[in-house]
Amino acid sequence: MTSARTIVITGASDGIGAAAARRLHADGHHVVVVGRNPGKTARLADELGAPRHVADFARLDDVRRLAAELVDAYPRIDVLANNAGALHESFATTADGFERTLQVDHLAPYLLTRLVLGNVLAARGSVVWTSSMAVRHAGTLDPATFAAADPAARYRPLRAYAQAKLASLLAMTELQRRYADRGLATVAFHPGVIASSFSSDGEGLVGWFYRSRLKGLLMASPQKGADQLVRLATGTAGVDWEPGRYLERGRPARRTPPALADTALAAAIWERTEDLLAAHVD
- The one-letter code for the residue type at 156 is R
Query: Which of 194, 195, 190 lies closest to 250, judged by CA?
Result: 190
Residue 199: which region, alpha, beta or left (left: phi > 0; alpha: psi -120 to 50)?
left
Catalytic residue, candidates 74, 110, 155, 161: 161
Provide the CA 93 distance to its chain's centre, in angstroms.
20
Do the beta carbons of residue 210 and residue 199 sit within 8 Å? yes
**Please, which residues bridge with residue 127 across strands?**
80, 186
Nearest-angstrom CA–CA distance, 262 and 221 = 34
Do the beta carbons of residue 66 and residue 115 sit within 8 Å? no
What is the CA angle 174-16-274, rounded to 5?
Answer: 25
Do the beta carbons of residue 98 and residue 56 sit within 8 Å? no
Catalytic: 161? Answer: yes
What is the CA angle 192-227-10, rounded to 5?
Answer: 85
Nearest-angstrom CA–CA distance, 243 and 75 = 23
Residue 186: which region, alpha, beta or left (left: phi > 0; alpha: psi -120 to 50)?
beta
Which positions are catalytic?
161
